[in-house]
Amino acid sequence: MFAASKILNFWDTDFSGTPGQVAVAILIISISIFYSITKPLPIPPDLPEPKRYPWIGYLWHPLKYWHIWPTETTRLAKLYKRTWGGPLPNFGGLPGAYFYIHDEENLRYILQNKFNNYVKGDMWKKVLGEILGVGIFAVDGERWHVHRKLMSNMFSRNLLRHSADVTRKKLSELVYVFNKRIDESDDAEEGFDIDLQDVFFRLTIDITTIITFGIDLCSIQRDQQHHFALAFDELSFLCQKRFLDPFFHVKKVLRLTRNERRIRVLKEVVDEFAYDVIARKRRLSSHGSPLGPDLLSRFVEHGRQTNEEISDSELRDVVMNVILAGRDTTACALSWLFFELTRKKDVVEKIIEEVELVCGVGENADYSYDTMGKLKYCHCVALETLRLHPPVTNDPRYAVNR
């Protein structure tokens, strides 16, 4: 009663001439409004979750383990043995609550049975907009279906064959670089260290830019990677950091932080490269010159033949989404594959045995698209690597309806 009467007396007070009390009242009202807008969403009481705190929910846990978040989410999935999650503040890049689902039946329900009800949402575009634009990984609904149909038409068997040829040539180049370094090594017995993950990221950026743009960045041969590759990597990294920054909207608009200012600079570098290539492709197409087998050329030629030209900005977004999807995932998968192979010599021996049996050896070896498709054991090794170390560890979705 005493506390209640004190509060009533406070609000009954005449605030005229008491600036301090007015300031306190405004502060209390502001905090109350802010909390009512940003308070975490209600979650089921029996849902297992890490330790939570008032208002921030379990936010401290992902902040603490973000550098190993895929490993930590796997550990918690094994610990709880069911869907888990918890409340979060409902503002910025935070959705009010997160539920981590790993059960196969639930995954099928979300990604297949009720696909249209679980979307990427506007947050995905706001956080990764500078790199993804309005490409297939940043949109939902009808626009997603349009992109999906367009991409499925472009990814023909001929493009896959072209991709296989590009990959084979770049691997031959990589082998040459390795052999050259071995020959130039001062101490052949002790050998030297190679950062395989760096090699794989260089390899895959070369392959994806040839397949998408028709341009070889020659990253394998360079000491310093191409400026587009460096800008693309840094832009992707900085954009993803926004997911844990609830104030990134304000920082982005006002350019308050170094990261946000840097994102704008990097986007200009990436866009300049992309739009320059697109302009060259359009000039060649308008003059009737033959275009290459790359993805961008296919889109430009398709637009010219059907009179349904795609805008430069949309072409840019399509290509960037393909690069992001094909480059990082493949490089990470290859890194994990070789990590596992270093611990399983018997698997390495079986791979070599199958390759020699199916493809042959020496100069007469056949590493064509059709022959490589017959490597069943190698295919199983790749699938097992993806099962143990999925390159895309989390796929955030937002429920449209309850």
pLDDT by residue, tens only, the chain of 402 residues = 444 444 445 445 554 557 777 888 888 898 889 888 889 999 898 999 999 999 899 989 988 998 888 889 989 999 999 999 999 988 877 788 989 998 889 989 998 899 889 988 887 888 888 998 888 887 888 878 777 877 776 777 888 888 899 999 999 999 998 888 888 776 656 677 888 999 999 999 999 999 888 889 999 988 888 999 999 999 999 998 888 787 888 888 888 899 999 999 999 999 999 999 999 888 887 777 777 788 888 888 877 777 877 888 988 988 888 888 888 899 999 999 999 999 999 999 999 999 999 999 988 899 999 999 999 999 999 999 999 998 888 888 888 887
CB atoms within 10 A of CB 112: 8
Going by C-alpha positions, the residue among 119, 41, 127, 122 that lies closest to residue 85 is 41
Largest CA distance in the chain: 96
Pair 296, 214: CB distance under 8 Å: yes
CA–CA dist 76, 65 (Å, integer): 12
Cβ contact 90:123 at 8 Å: no
What the block records as the tokens of 265 is 């600079």
**What spatial distance separates the first Cα and last Cα of the chain, rounded to whole Å?**
41
Q: Which residues are CB-contacts of 48 (< 8 A; sequence separation ≥ 6)?
A: 80, 82, 84
CA separation for the pair 176, 179 (Å, rounded): 5
Q: Taking a C-beta distance cutoff of 8 angstroms, is the pair 144, 255 a contact? A: no
